[in-house]
Structure 1
Amino acid sequence: MRKLLILSCLYLLSSCNLFTSTDVKTQRLVEKELQAINWNDVDQYPLFDDCDETVSKSAQKECFENTLLLHFSMILQEFEFILDKDVEEVVYVDFLVDKEGKISVLNIDKNSIIQEQIPEFDGIISRSLKSLPPVEPALKRGIPVNAKCRIPIILNSEETK
C-alpha cells in the first residue's frame, strides 16, 4: 500500500507544472499573446497636429487622409500643366510613415496617360512631402510603428474655351 501511495504522489507531481520554470511559463504566455495580436492593424493611425487622437480609428484615418489630400490639392494647383486632352483619372499614391513620423512615397500607381501628359507628377508629389506639417507615427500597443497607407488623388482637367 505504501508503494502505491508513493507512486501516486510521484505521478501527480510529475504531471503538474510544478517543475516548469517561471521563465518557460512566461515565454509561453508571451508567445500566446503575440499570436493573438493582429499585426496588420494599428491601434492609432499616423496623426497630424490638427487631428484628434481621442476619436475613433476610422476618424483618425479620415483626418490623416484628408490632410494629405488637401496638401496635395494645394500643391498641384500651384502648377500649370499643359495637356493635349482632358484628363479625368485617379492616381494612387502609396506612403510609408515610419516610426519617427517621416513620410515617404513607396509607389505611385498611374496609367500611361498621366505618365505622358504629366511626367513630372511623381517628382511634384515627392518634393511636396517636405512641406507637410509634422506627423506623429502610428501606434501599436503604445509603441511607434511603421504604417503604410494608400491615397487616391483624382486628377481632373477641363478644356478651356
Structure 2
Amino acid sequence: MKQFSVFLVFLFFNSCQYFEKQVPSEKELLQKELKSINWKEVDEYPTVAECETIADEKQRQKCFFDVMAKLIQEKLDIDTLSILYPELDTIEVKVTVFPNSKMVFEPQFPKDSVAYDTIKIDSILHARLVDFPKVNPAIKRGIPVKTQFILPVIIKEKEQK
C-alpha cells in the first residue's frame, strides 16, 4: 500500500505538466482567425427580391447582375446619351452596394477618354440612375458588408450590316 501511495504521488507530480498547456492569447487567436478569412469573397452576394427564390448561389448571382444591368439599361434608354455620343455603345459602371442597402454608381472611363465629355456623361448617369428597387447587401459571416462590382452597360446595340 505504501508503494502504491508513493506511486500515486509520483504520478500526480508528473501529470501536472499535462494540465499546464500553453493557451494562446486572445490577440493571437484573433490574428489567426483574421488571416484565415478570405476577404476578397463574400458568403452571399447582393440580391434583389426577384432573385431571392433561386437556391443555387451562382444562378442567384447571375440573376442579380442581369437584373441590375437591365435596370441600368432601361434607365439610360430614355436619355440622349446615345444621340450625344454615337460612338459610345457600352459604358462600364462601378456599382457599390453598402451594408445599409444604399447604392452608388460611378462610370468607369478608359484612360484615353478625351473623345467625349466624361463630366457630362457622369452627370447624366447620376441623374438617371436613381429609384432602384431595394437591394439586399452582400453577407460575410452573417454580417452585411460593402461590395463593389463593374457592370458593362450596353447603351445601344451595334447595328448589323
Q: TM-score, normalised by structure 2?
A: 0.71
User: Could you tell me which residue of structure 1 aligns to residue 113 of structure 2?
Assistant: 112
> What is the deviation of 1:68?
1.4
User: Could you tell me which residue of structure 2 aligns to residue 152 of structure 1?
Assistant: 152
Determine if the alignment matches structure 1 residue 135 to structure 2 residue 140. Answer: no
Answer with 139-148 or 128-137: which moved more.
128-137
Cα pair distance change 1:72/1:114, threshold 3 Å: farther
The one-letter amino acid paired with 2:87 is V
Question: What is the aligned residue count?
Answer: 148
> What is the deviation of 1:138?
0.4
Over the matched positions of the two proteins, sequence identity in percent amounts to: 25
Which segments of 5 or more consecutive residues in structure 2 lack a partner in the other structure?
A: 1-5
User: Could you tell me which residue of structure 2 aligns to residue 68 of structure 1?
Assistant: 68
User: Could you tell me which residue of structure 2 aligns to residue 9 of structure 1?
Assistant: 14
SS in 1 for 2:79: coil
Matches within 5 A, 1:68-107: 68-81=68-81, 82-83=83-84, 86-87=86-87, 89-107=89-107
In 2, distance between residues paired with 1:71 and 1:106?
A: 15
Q: TM-score, normalised by structure 1?
A: 0.71
Deviations 1:16-65 (A, max 9, x none): 562545xx466544433332211110111111111126533322221221
User: Could you tell me which residue of structure 1 aligns to residue 3 of structure 2?
Assistant: none
Whether the aligned pair in 2 keeps the contact of 1:94 and 1:151 (CA below 8 Å) is yes
1:18 pairs, out of 12, 20, 25, with 20
Answer with 125-134 or 140-149: which moved more.
125-134
Whether the aligned pair in 2 keeps the contact of 1:90 and 1:154 (CA below 8 Å) is yes
| CA-atom RMSD in angstroms | 3.3
Cα pair distance change 1:106/1:77, threshold 3 Å: closer
The one-letter amino acid paired with 1:112 is S
Matches within 5 A, 1:18-37: 18=20, 20=22, 24=24, 28-37=28-37
In 1, distance between residues paired with 2:19 and 2:90?
A: 60
Which segments of 5 or more consecutive residues in structure 1 lack a partner in the other structure?
A: none
Cα pair distance change 1:38/1:158, threshold 3 Å: closer
Q: Name which one, 1 or 2, has greater alpha-carbon Rg.
A: 2
> What is the deviation of 1:157?
6.3
Deviations 1:61-114 (A, max 9, x none): 212211111111111111234347x42543211121111111112452245266
